[in-house]
Every structure is written in C-alpha cells, then in structure tokens.
Chain A
Amino acid sequence: MADPDAPLVERARRGDQRAFAELVERHQAKLYTLAARTLGSEADAADAVQEAFLRAWLALPRFRAGSLFSTWMYRITLNAAHDQRLKRRAEPVEEAAERADPRDAFAEAELSGALQRALDALDEDFRLAVVLYDVLGATYDEIAELTGVPEGTVKSRIYRGRRELARMLGTSTGYEESNGQ
C-alpha cells in the first residue's frame, strides 16, 4: 500500500524540520489519543508522545519503508507509553502528587469519564485492540502487525473488548458501587 506520508517522510529523513512538523501535525491527535487511552493520564500521554516523536525524529534517517509511517509511529508511541508507565511506577508518591498539572480541561474530562474507567478495567490486549480499531480507525492488518498476532485473534480481541466494555458501561452504577465509588 502506498504510504500517503511518504513524501514528507523522505524530506524529514534528510533532516527537514518543517516536513517533520507537518507529520507531527497529521499524527498528533491519534497518537496522543492512543497514549491517553492506554495510560489513562493526559500528562503521561503528553510526555510519552513527546518522547515518541523525538525517538522517531532520531530514528528517521534509518527508517525503511517496510511499513506505513503511521504504523511505525503507533509502535514507537506504544513503546514510549510502556516506558512512561515503568517510570511512573518507580516514582515516589510525593513526586507524582507534585506533578499533577492538568493541561487540558477537555482531555482531563474525557479521561475521568465512564468510558475511560471501563477501558482502564479492561484486559490490556482487549483495550489496545478496541482503541486502535474503534477509536483510531486502524485496520486489522495494522493491528496484527503492531501486536504480533493473526487477524483472527485481532477480531476476537475487539469482540471481547467491546463486549466487556458494554457490560461495564451498561451496569455502570452497579459497577461503581461494587468498586466503592
């Protein structure tokens, strides 16, 4: 499949910062949403996406057009989000409290809503599958490449993810009560 980002990627590979800025503009919302929905924190998501774009910029001269730029960026973002999660776990509680810095009220509201609570409670594989497929519009092929499982498994994960999510949302009052909220 021809990559619609190919001309910009080629320029960015040669060090063109303006071309890279356009790529950032094109992909920032999807990558930020991916990080925010998988990490459940907009501040951590912003750090992860910033780190992901930085890694991409540094690795671009060696980027081979074997996969779509968007798929490559999804992978880098997931890796950066994973690293961010490890970093956060290692952080003392006081530092985490000091860091609370809501930067965007809309994202903050989205991430504190019922959908995010349900996503947080989902199995990690199911969560990633439904976020990529239903929220970001990734294809089965892309998800299979990213997660390293066959297309049938991707469909099964989306199926189970949606079903679990609907159950949690459909009984949200009971769910919240049973969780002491």
Chain B
Amino acid sequence: MTTTMHPDDLELFEYVEGDLDEARRPGVSAHLDACERCTEEVRLLEAGKEALRASPLLALPPKTKDALLRGLPRQIKRERAPFSVSLRRLVAVLAPVAVVAIAVTAILSTTGNGDSERAAVPAEPAAAEALKSVEETGAAAAQAPAAEAAPTAEAAPTAEAAPAAQDVATPSLGATAQVRAVAGPPEEVVALLREKGFDATVVEGTVQVRGADPAAVEQALAERRDGDVPVVLMP
C-alpha cells in the first residue's frame, strides 16, 4: 500500500519538478492523496521554489562595471610569441629605414622636375610626425605599469587594432616573467608555496613567486591546476 511507504526526498523532489518517470508518478500521486506528512513536504517544496523564483536578478552597479572595464590591465600570455618584438625595438629598427627612405625620396625629387620638388617638401615633416607618434605609443606601452596605468578602451587601441601591443612583456613583471593559472584562493596558494620553501607573495589577487624553477613550481601546484588565480614567476 502506498500510504505505508513514504517516497524518499529524491522522489518527492523529482515529483515537484516533473522529472519523475511515468512508472513511479501514479504511485507517488496516490500516496500524496492519502499522506498528510508528504503533502506538507510537497507544499513546502513548492512554496520555497516559488519564493526563490520570484526573486529578480540584480544588476551590477554601472559604476562598478565602468571601473572594471576602464581598469583592465594588459593580459599576459603564457609564452611569448616566437617573433615578438617590443614597440621600442621596432621603432629603433624602423627609424633609420624611414630616414633613409625620406632622404632618397628627397634626392629623387630634386633630380626630377620642379613640381615633384615642391611635392617632396611637405612629405618629410609628415613622415617625421608619423614616426614620432609611433615612438610615443611605443614609449607609453613600455612605461605602463602592469595594472595601475592599464590601457583603457577609449585611450588605447584595442588588441585587434594593435596586435603587437599584446606581445610586449609587461615591464614591471620583467621580460622573463611566466604565468600559470591555479585554483585559489591566492592566500592558500601562497601558504602552500611557502611551506615548500618558495618566496611567494599575494599581489593584487595574483601570486608572485621569485627566483623559482618553473618546473618545481608546476610540480608544487600540480593539485591546483586549472583554476583562475594567476601565478607569476618572477626572475
């Protein structure tokens, strides 16, 4: 008789959710018709569900969202691209080339007719100006600290517009900084690393480890792979 065997929690839950298979549903229904205790359980389950589902989603305050998007630091790749060069180095290489090109253009122009000579005059300042702006961008990128003076959506080109910027090593981390991501919280990761003799500290939600062998750190954190806390290996 159904009234003597109460359905278990899982059955009652699946009954309320409409997930109970067809074979068991009539039995549980019949039991509920006769059992006050289980009927009360179902009533509570439905009331709890209703209260929770009536609660709205809350919106992240716009100020927080704006501050977040304005303050995104530069992402750090796990490994540097094999052909990556810093903007500063790019400017250093390209500057003499540009100067020679301008000089050649000027010489060729003076050997041609008068029209082309006049046309060549404004070309040099324009090229110099363009070069200067590249140089300034490069210098700004090289001087920007890791998190504080991060490029903003308005003030800096996006990575799509300037893919080279993504390959510039973040200066404050040093050119050889390497990054892993592990399961946090950062304080526990630091405690674990210190236990094993590493020089580790929490900096702005990331874990920084100084002067450690990357393979040894990898091994020490093997249990915590695939998390979201960046571990930065400093030289």
Contact = CB atoms under 8 A, between A and B. Distances in A.
B93 interface: no
A17 B158 contact: yes
Contact of A21 (B153, B166, B184): B153
Contacts of B159: 14-17
Interface residues of B, number: 58
B52 A51 contact: no
B66 to A, nearest CB: 10
B235 interface: no
A155 B14 contact: yes
A49 B185 CA distance: 15
Contact of A50 (B10, B12, B49, B68): B68
Interface stretch (A1-9, A92-100, A162-170, A173-181): A162-170
Given A21-B153, A163-B44, A14 B13 contact: no
B11 to A, nearest CB: 10
Contacts of A64: 226
A55 B230 contact: yes
A135 B50 CA distance: 10
Nearest to B9: A159
B53 interface: yes
9 contacts: A17-B72, A21-B153, A49-B60, A76-B228, A79-B185, A155-B13, A162-B44, A165-B48, A169-B47
A16 B160 contact: yes
Nearest to B69: A21
Given A86-B185, A86-B187, A58 B75 contact: yes
B75 A60 contact: yes
A166 B45 CA distance: 7
B111 interface: no
A165 B58 contact: no
Contacts of A18: 153, 158, 160
Given A46-B64, A86-B185, A162 B49 contact: yes
B217 to A, nearest CB: 15
Nearest to A114: B51
Contacts of A51: 205
Interface string A122-133: 000000001100
A155 B15 CA distance: 12
Interface string B82-109: 0000000000000000000000000000
A36 to B, nearest CB: 5
Contacts of B77: 61
Contact of A55 (B166, B180, B205): B205
B228 A59 contact: yes
A122 to B, nearest CB: 10
A15 B78 CA distance: 13
B150 to A, nearest CB: 10
Interface in A67-83: 72, 75-76, 79, 82-83
B201 interface: no
A146 B166 CA distance: 32
Contacts of A54: 68, 71-73, 205
Contacts of B163: 14-15
Given A54-B68, A62-B181, A167-B44, A110 B166 contact: no
